[in-house]
Structure 1
Amino acid sequence: MSSKLTLLAPAALLIGACAVDPATQSFDPGFGEAQKYNMAIQTIDPDPVYTAEDAQPGDNGDKGAAAVKRYRTGNVKAVEMMGTTGGGSGGSSGGSSGPQ
């Protein structure tokens, strides 16, 4: 138990030392800013303000409504199949695993 304490005590002092300004012996004014910034960018604005150039709520609603109507009436568009080109991506395809 004491060996763990002797290892953790210096680490705690080093971490705490980064937050205190040695000249004033007070916390750095920027301490915790990264955490505050991360919280702020993940918070949803409950009352957003949109300008005329911004995407508006309901944009492309006509496409969505048409898709729901097709789904409900059984007229769903067929899935479009896409092909790929045969490029060498380095994967094995049954051949040898290296240069000969």
Structure 2
Amino acid sequence: MTMNSKFIRTLALAGGTLAVAGCATGSGEDFMADTTWGEANRRTMAAQVIDPNPVYEDPIPPTSADNAVDAIDRLRNDQVKQPERVSTTEEPD
């Protein structure tokens, strides 16, 4: 092993040690006493959980199985009701 490669290895080890030490916000018990540790992960998981008992401002409109059957029959017989054309921009005068 040459002198140059020993120096490079020592320099890399020292740099790595400093980089890892820079990640710590405290030491010992103080480090784990941080109450915000892992907060981003907890918030991400909470955003993915569905409320099992949601409350809506507007009530859910009533549905009818007869309407669904009629719609399927129209689809199968190629008699689908064409929707009203809606434009997102105004036509110039």
Q: TM-score, normalised by structure 2?
A: 0.48
More helix by share: 2
Q: Which structure: larger Rg?
A: 2
